[in-house]
Amino acid sequence: MNLAKLKSGETGKITAIGAIGPLKRRLMDMGILIGEVIRVVKVAPLGDPIEVKIKNYSLSLRKKEAEGIAVEVMG
Amino acid sequence: MNWQTNLKETVSEEGGRGVLRPVEKRTVTIAVAGNPNSGKSTLINAIAGMRLQVGNWAGVTVEKKEAQFESQGRKIRLVDLPGTYSLSPYTQEEIIARDYLVHERPDLIVNVVDATNLERNLYLTVQLMELGIPVVMALNIYDEAEAKGYRIDIRGIEETLGITVIPTSATRKTGLEELLRGIVETADNPAWRVPRHINYGEDVETAAEMVAGAVHDRHPGLAAKFPGRWLALKLMEGDRHVREETGLGEHDIPGEALHHLRRAHGEDVEAVMADVRYSLAAGLTREVLERPELRKAELTEKIDRVVLNRFLGIPIFLAAMWIMFKLTFDLSKPYADWIGDMIAGPFKHWAASLVKFVHGPDWTVSLVTDGIIAGVGNVLVFVPVIFAMMFFITFLEGSGYMARAAFVMDRAMHAIGLHGKSFIPMLLGFGCNVPAIYATRTLENPRDKALTALLIPLMSCGARLPVYVVFIGAFFPTHAGTVLWSLYVMGIVLAIFMGIIFKRTLFRGEAPMFIMELPPYRMPSLRSLTIHTWEKGKHFLIKAGTYILAVSVLVWFLLNLPWGVENKKDSYLGKVGQASAPILGPLGFGKWEAGSSLIAGLIAKEIVVGTMGEIYVKKGEEKKKEAPSFTDDLKEVGSSFVKATKASFANVFATAGITSISTAEDSDKAAERAPLKEVLKTQFTPLAAYAFIVFVLLYMPCVIASVAMVQEFGTWKWYGIAFAYQMVLAWGMAALVYQGGRLLGLGG
């Protein structure tokens, strides 16, 4: 399961970050770390990007970027 | 340089009088660092206000703000670092911030922290503390945090980190005095204000010590240049920027240093380090922050439920854009017209009288009035629209809506290789390409920014409209709407086409990432908006103004020399026009008149019409008006300004349409252009006329847009590319229209 597949309102726990290099570092700098709880808040009107809530703030990222973030659905 | 010894000297000198007065005027250099959206700009505006100087960091398009002022008898130099979330080696902003901190070694860092978003902000604080420079934390947006029911243990942060923490609210201007006092106090006692060495855990600390030791022994030169612990941590992370700079690599790190760390925590040391720093930030946040248990839905969430709604999101976005566009251009247009009229009227009269008074020959009168004064006018007419644009862009950014606009539009813009934020500059392009190019500064990534700027000239700006209107009036009066729309649509279609081409050629490779914070909505303070707008507008006036003036004078020479030519054909401009005629031949308008008008149109594309009027229609018909008296002129300046203000308000409230883009020509102008239209009908075929307006749509950007492009990017590269592709595109499309049309039997 990855973050891009979560529906709005669903919450997951990050289990792995597949990205490498600058993208991985950027994700980590924004608080996307293994073990962190992440919730999908919204999908943009045109279907991409998505809005997530992490570390108590709102972040948006493209689905392609979210695909590399493996999550475990928490319901 | 030691501050304390100096103080002692001061004391001994003045000791007799028994006063301790620091007369020493050492400048304290302060770097201000913080996350984007932490209210850093507002805080700096509140402290430094109009003393801020805006420029660019050397060699890049990232804005640099600086201010010098005095506080408590000290000279303070404030340097605003770009807003960053981290100090990674991957973005321009982060590299600028860390290079400044490492190489310029400011006396202290003011770290602006968003109190409502403590954990992520502390992640940067932890990294700043690695540098060993004294840190003062401005715990900003503190009022909002309190209103949310947050309770923050300020003493707790101070004790854990060993730094001074001052709660502030930039918008309410609270805590600013205390912050300045904290800054000076820390600057006076740097020795005991160095932030506490925070323990990153035994594994990291042992490894860091080993690496620092090895660097110290083998490369004493580097050890002196860089903070030791910081350098060691960066080398362990495999920081590519530091590696390039120092020439150190994997082999300079003792093998056993990382061995244990990797075995215990995983292969990716960069990830391990991010984890360690975030754990510290999270731990500290847990300790010092008390949040109310029950969380009510926040205002931002409520607004976003509507603004980012699946069905309403796009209509709301388009409505917001329409309002912004209308306000930017309709509000500023009457003022631009007023400035234009004043320059062309009273100022020219006064300048002419002055030159005649000192017995300047005729040509100097013309040079001063038509060259220099007109050139100044060319700069000044842009002031209202640049200021209006800067104001609204700053508002969109400061309020938090800019990020939402990007969120809503990204899917569509990404398809042609652009970023969601590219939409706004592109849209502004329909009003005027010049502010649109400046608006690209809202894009962070240099690639996104350059690509957006390259495509903006294809958005048909307001200055091209008068050309279309005259030609459409002369040749296609019955299909005016369709023909006009075809031009706008052609520009957009070609922008999509060129976007895809550029994406696959010039900008091949991975598209920059989108990962963007959606900050809470906040009302930007009027003071902050005004200061921002003023600073940026001033920057335009000074930087772009000089170039535009120079080019205007150059064009004057082209138009008027050799002095006293009877026939425009014999002026230098006419000669260039003659030379260009064969190139324009295949497009259906291979005449020197067309060529000369197009060249004159580089000042602003609408000048094509004026020049054609001058060339084709006999000059004798121009009415000679009695020169108005000085006092009449003066009255005119005042009364027409009042008129402009009225028109500006009327534009905003009275009309639903966009006045600055309207096909309706006022009857005065239409009558004025009637003779020109008659002549044009004898000079162009309808097909050639259409090819001509297509050429006007696409050919190289006007001088002012060019200056904007060169100045905003600090290089000629992007302008060169825009120039080249637009010339090819203009020629190709016009040829396609004309030759294709002839093949289809639409007449020659």
The answer to whether residue B649 is domain-embedded is no
B207 and B187 part of one domain: no
B38 and B155 part of one domain: yes
B47-55: average pLDDT: 84
Range with the poorest average pLDDT among B3-7, B148-152, B376-380, B439-443: B3-7
Q: Which two tokens stand for residue A31?
A: 């608080």
How far does A39 lie from chain B, in Å, by closest CA?
14
Size of interface A-B (CB pairs under 8 A): 110
B175 and B212 part of one domain: no
Give the pLDDT of residue B235: 92
Chain A residue numbers with beta carbons less than 8 Å from the beta carbon of B513 are: 22-23, 26, 61-62, 65
Nearest CA in chain A to B412: A46
Long-range contacts of B583-588 (CB under 8 A, 24+ apart): B583/B731, B586/B735, B586/B738, B586/B739, B587/B688, B587/B691, B587/B692, B587/B695, B587/B731, B587/B734, B587/B735, B587/B738, B588/B684, B588/B685, B588/B687, B588/B688, B588/B691, B588/B692, B588/B734, B588/B738, B588/B748
B135 and B262 part of one domain: no
Kindly report the average pLDDT of chain B as a whole number: 86
Give the pLDDT of residue B620: 45
Say which CATH number the domain at B259 has: 1.10.287.1770
Pick the residue of A7, A28, A61 with the most B CBs within 10 A to test the interface with B by mutation.
Answer: A28
How far does B481 lie from chain A, in Å, by closest CA?
31
pLDDT band of residue B117 (cuts 50, 70, 90) is very high
Give the pLDDT of residue B366: 80
Minimum-distance CB partner of B88 among A29, A55, A59:
A29
The answer to whether residue B630 is domain-embedded is no
Scanning A6-35 for CB atoms below 8 A from B yields: 17, 21-31, 33-34
Nearest CA in chain B to A35: B275
CA distance B271 to B267: 9
Q: Is B90 helix (H, G, I), strand (E, B) or coil?
A: coil
Nearest CA in chain B to A17: B271
Is B213 at the interface with chain A, CB within 8 A?
no
CA distances from residue B104 to B32, B56, B223 in whole angstroms, order as listed: 13, 17, 16
Give the pLDDT of residue B8: 38
The answer to whether residue B96 is domain-embedded is yes
- Could you report the per-residue pLDDT of B212-221, keeping only the tens digit for each? 999 989 988 8
B448 and B588 part of one domain: yes
Nearest CA in chain A to B91: A22
B104 and B142 part of one domain: yes
Q: How many residues comprise chain A?
A: 75
How far does B429 lie from chain A, in Å, by closest CA?
24
Domains and CATH numbers, chain A: 3-73 (2.30.30.90)
Q: At what angle do helices B313-342 and B299-307 cross, to 10 degrees?
A: 90
* pLDDT of residue B449 exceeding 60: yes
* Per-residue H/E/C for B251-295: HHCCHHHHHHHHHHHCCCHHHHHHHHHHHHHHHHHHHHEECCCCC
Chain A residue numbers with beta carbons less than 8 Å from the beta carbon of B517 are: 30, 57-60
B128 and B229 part of one domain: no
Q: How many domains does chain B have?
A: 3
Is B98 at the interface with chain A, CB within 8 A?
no
The answer to whether residue B17 is domain-embedded is no
B78 and B45 part of one domain: yes
Residue of B666 and B100 predicted with greater confidence? B100
Chain B residue numbers with beta carbons less than 8 Å from the beta carbon of A48 are: 410-411, 414
Chain B residue numbers with beta carbons less than 8 Å from the beta carbon of A29 are: 85-86, 88, 123, 274
Q: Which residues pair with B27 in a beta bridge?
A: B75
Residue of B539 and B426 predicted with greater confidence? B426
Pick the residue of A26, A46, A53, A54 with the most B CBs within 10 A to test the interface with B by mutation.
Answer: A46
Pick the residue of B407, B409, B416, B522 with the most A CBs within 10 A to test the interface with A by mutation.
Answer: B407
Chain B residue numbers with beta carbons less than 8 Å from the beta carbon of A46 are: 314, 408, 410-412
Q: Check if the beta carbon of residue B100 is closer than 8 Å to that of residue B29.
A: no
The answer to whether residue B473 is domain-embedded is yes
Chosen domain end from B136, B171, B193: B193
How far does A48 lie from chain B, in Å, by closest CA?
6
Chain B residue numbers with beta carbons less than 8 Å from the beta carbon of A60 are: 403, 406-407, 514-518
* pLDDT of residue B434 exceeding 80: yes
B84 and B161 part of one domain: yes
CA distance B239 to B223: 17
Is A38 at the interface with chain B, CB within 8 A?
no
pTM above 0.95, yes or no: no
Chain B residue numbers with beta carbons less than 8 Å from the beta carbon of A58 are: 300, 517-519
The answer to whether residue B302 is domain-embedded is no
Q: Do B411 and A48 touch (CB under 8 A)?
A: yes
pLDDT band of residue B670 (cuts 50, 70, 90) is low
Q: Check if the beta carbon of residue B442 is closer than 8 Å to that of residue B527.
A: no
B324 and B430 part of one domain: yes
With a pLDDT cut of 90, the percent of chain B lying above it is 44
Give the pLDDT of residue B24: 56
Nearest CA in chain B to A48: B411
Q: How many residues comprise chain B?
A: 748
Chosen domain end from B147, B168, B193: B193
Tell me which residue range forms the domain holding B259. Answer: 202-290
Contacts of B545 (CB under 8 A, 6+ apart): B379
Minimum-distance CB partner of B274 among A29, A51, A55:
A29
- Could you report the per-residue pLDDT of B284-315, keeping only the tens digit for each? 999 999 988 766 678 899 999 999 999 999 99
pLDDT band of residue B662 (cuts 50, 70, 90) is low
ipTM score of complex: 0.97
Q: Which two tokens stand for residue A75?
A: 């319901």
CA distance A54 to B460: 42
The answer to whether residue B271 is domain-embedded is yes
Determine the residue type at B679.
V
Range with the poorest average pLDDT among A50-54, B314-318, B374-378: B374-378
Q: At what angle do helices B383-399 and B313-342 cross, to 10 degrees?
A: 150
Q: Do B517 and A58 touch (CB under 8 A)?
A: yes
The answer to whether residue B433 is domain-embedded is yes
Is B440 at the interface with chain A, CB within 8 A?
no
B285 and B267 part of one domain: yes
Q: At what angle do helices B607-616 and B667-683 cross, to 10 degrees?
A: 60
CA distances from residue B674 to B469, B476, B582, B617, B669 in whole angstroms, order as listed: 12, 14, 29, 10, 9
Give the pLDDT of residue B207: 92
Scanning B114-143 for CB atoms below 8 A from A yields: 117, 119-120, 123
* pLDDT of residue B20 exceeding 70: no
B703 and B576 part of one domain: yes
Residue of B250 and B308 predicted with greater confidence? B308
How far does B411 lie from chain A, in Å, by closest CA?
6
Give the pLDDT of residue B566: 67
Is B513 at the interface with chain A, CB within 8 A?
yes
Q: Which two tokens stand for residue B477?
A: 């009066």
Give the pLDDT of residue B12: 38
B685-692: average pLDDT: 95
